[in-house]
Amino acid sequence: MTQLIDISVVLHTGMVHWPGDPSVAITRTSDRARGDSATVSKLSMGSHTGTHMDAPLHFFRGGKGLEEMPLEATVGPARVIAIRHLRWITPDELRSHHVRRGERILFKTRNSTRCWKTNRFVEDFVYLSTEAARFLAARRVRAVGIDYLSVGGYRERNGVAVHRTLLGAGIWIMEGLDLSRVRPGRYELICLPLRVRTSDGAPARAILRPIPHVGRQQ
Ligand SMILES: [Zn+2]
């Protein structure tokens, strides 16, 4: 049995979110502990919080929402690539990993071990340079994932360019992954965003299944 690795972050009240986006509040509207007949909660959060996906609609008027995403985009073989650069992901570093057409690629940067420890927004997280986004668009990868809240930089302010480049090339974007417990390599990915109508973004559960080693012949 191979073990499944959960690469989603736990949603909770007061957790980190993109500056200016709605905060997260999960409250009980009824509670067995208070004598109600059942426990029920109200979830309130922005659509780009925690582990989530972006749809073309996020940056293109009339673009596709996540409810229209083909499930194959984020279910299937994937590769986790370790990014060494401490500031951003560059085309040079991507080139060394021989990124191929149709690949699902998750970038494990230092964000995974650094950024999720705090509920405060980390401004200098590792992100894609605009050139790296163009490189991925030209290579026609299928889906990309990053281990913090955006594929674009906060201080660099290249988020619009990076998102438009990727989404415009038909690349589906996973954000807010936690890859701290994942070694670089090949996996089976299952990442499923909630099916919300005309969704610019939606929370997702993301899982990796290690690909079992083929037994060596004696
Ligand atoms: Zn995004």
Q: What is the DSSP string of 54-78?
A: E-GGGTSTTPPPGGGS-GGGSEEEE
pTM for the predicted model, two decimal places? 0.95
Mean pLDDT check: name the lowest of 43-52, 144-153, 176-185, 205-214: 205-214
136 membership: H or E segment, kind and range: helix 130-139
pLDDT digits (tens, 9 = 90+) for 119-161: 999 999 999 999 999 999 999 999 999 999 999 999 999 999 9
For residue 40, list its beta bridge partners.
30
Q: Is the pLDDT of residue 12 over 60?
A: yes
- Provide, rounded to the nearest whole percent, the portion of the chain with pLDDT above 70: 97
For residue 218, list its beta bridge partners.
none
Rounded Cα gap, residues 181 and 163, in angstroms = 27
Cα–Cα separations (whole angstroms), residue 54 to 48, 173, 213: 8, 5, 33
DSSP state for residue 10 in the 8-state scheme: P
CA of 27 to the centre of ligand 1 (A): 26
Model pLDDT, residue 2:
73
CA of 217 to the centre of ligand 1 (A): 46
Which of 140, 198, 206 has the alpha carbon at shortest distance from 178? Answer: 206
CA of 166 to the centre of ligand 1 (A): 10
Q: Is the pLDDT of residue 194 over 50?
A: yes
Model pLDDT, residue 135:
98
CA of 107 to the centre of ligand 1 (A): 15
Model pLDDT, residue 98:
96
Band the pLDDT of 1: cuts 50, 70, 90: low
Q: Is the pLDDT of residue 213 over 80?
A: no
CA of 63 to the centre of ligand 1 (A): 14
Model pLDDT, residue 13:
98
Rounded Cα gap, residues 67 and 171, in angstroms = 15
Q: What does the pLDDT average to over 52-66?
A: 97
pLDDT digits (tens, 9 = 90+) for 63-103: 999 999 999 999 999 999 999 999 999 999 999 999 999 99
Band the pLDDT of 215: cuts 50, 70, 90: low
State both tokens at 23: 């905060």
- Provide, rounded to the nearest whole percent, the portion of the chain with pLDDT above 90: 95
Which of 175, 170, 143 has the alpha carbon at shortest distance from 159? Answer: 175
Could you give the 3-state DSSP secondary structure of residue 92? helix
CA of 35 to the centre of ligand 1 (A): 41
Q: Is the pLDDT of residue 217 over 60?
A: no
Model pLDDT, residue 214:
62
Q: Which long-range CB contacts under 8 A does 71-76 form with residues at least 24 apart?
A: 71/192, 73/104, 73/142, 73/143, 73/172, 74/104, 74/143, 74/172, 74/174, 74/189, 74/190, 74/191, 74/192, 74/193, 74/204, 74/206, 75/189, 75/190, 75/191, 75/192, 76/104, 76/188, 76/189
Reply yes or no on whether 12 is catalytic.
no
Identified catalytic residue from 17, 48, 52, 58: 58
Residues 6+ apart with CB under 8 A from 96: none
Could you give the 3-state DSSP secondary structure of residue 112? helix
- For 188-213, give the DSSP string: EEEEEE---TT-SEEEEEEEEEEPPP
Q: Is the pLDDT of residue 218 over 50?
A: no
Model pLDDT, residue 212:
80
Which of 77, 78, 112, 81 has the alpha carbon at shortest distance from 96? Answer: 81
